[in-house]
Amino acid sequence: MSSKDFNILELFKDEPKEPFSLNMQMFGNKLKTEHIFNNLKSLYAKGLLIQNGENVNPKINKIQINKVKKEHINIMKRHMLSLGIDVKYSSYSEENKDCLYRDLLHDIQHIDGIIIKATLDWKKNIIDNLNISFSKENMTWDSVKKMENIVRKHYEANHFLKLLKPKNLRDYSIKINTPDNLIHVISFDFAKHVDDFRKKLVASYKIEN
């Protein structure tokens, strides 16, 4: 993490700063995306503890969702954005997961050589399980690459299906089950700076004219 982890935690006790106003650095030999995710997960969990008025134990990195309020989530989203990190929090029911799966299937069903087998809860009309593979006879390198690109696009579905190993920061997630049969998913990504959006809008304007 940055020079002193304690200093970062102190920031969470104040009002969130402006987006991208703080610089966070992580150090380590051969630092990989997984290490970045684990550091962010620990930092985020400790931030939620602080928002909830609890003392932070250096070894705590678990989130007790029953103690987390919507206002805590919103405040931490702003805090993390001040460090240039975008936090995505979603809660999924069986129906929500089904929508994720169907959106993915809609995009991959036409790939050459792909085999899709789904187990359906007939009464609920909800996909219960998915098995996706390729036919050895019809599989091509182009098909495999196309499949990978589409799954990377549907990273939220991949949080559950685990068709591909995480590669980008947003591919990693924290999943928490609650007694109300919801699955709460938290993921991180490097936030897009407003200047990036402005450049895209200018580029789009130039193309259209």
Q: What is the DSSP track for 59-91?
A: T-----GGG--HHHHHHHHHHHHHTTEEEEEEE
CA distance 161 to 153: 14
End-to-end CA distance of the chain: 46
**Sorting pLDDT into bands at 50, 70 and 90, what band is 133?**
very high
DSSP letter for 169, please.
G
193 contact partners, CB below 8 Å, separation of at least 6 = 20, 84
Q: What is the layout of strands, in order, in the sheet containing 183-190?
A: 85-92, 183-190, 174-177
CA distance 120 to 126: 6
φ/ψ (deg, to 5) at 2: -70, -175
Q: Which has more confidence, 90 or 56?
A: 90
Which pLDDT value is given to residue 109?
96
> What's the chain's average pLDDT?
87
Which pLDDT value is given to residue 5?
46
**Sorting pLDDT into bands at 50, 70 and 90, what band is 66?**
confident
Least confident of 46-60, 90-104, 115-129, 162-176: 46-60
Least confident of 1-5, 20-24, 31-35, 106-110: 1-5
Q: Which has more confidence, 63 or 117?
A: 117
Q: Is the pLDDT of residue 187 over 70?
A: yes
Nearest to 68 by CA among 81, 87, 84: 87
Q: What pairs with residue 120 in β-bridges?
A: 127
Q: Is the pLDDT of residue 37 over 90?
A: yes
Nearest to 85 by CA among 13, 140, 11: 11
Q: What percent of the chain has pLDDT over 70?
A: 85
φ/ψ (deg, to 5) at 17: -80, 175
What is the mean pLDDT of the segment spanning 136-148? 92
Nearest to 116 by CA among 66, 107, 125, 5: 107
Which pLDDT value is given to residue 99?
97
pTM of the model: 0.84
151 contact partners, CB below 8 Å, separation of at least 6 = 104, 108, 157, 158, 163, 164
**Sorting pLDDT into bands at 50, 70 and 90, what band is 65?**
confident
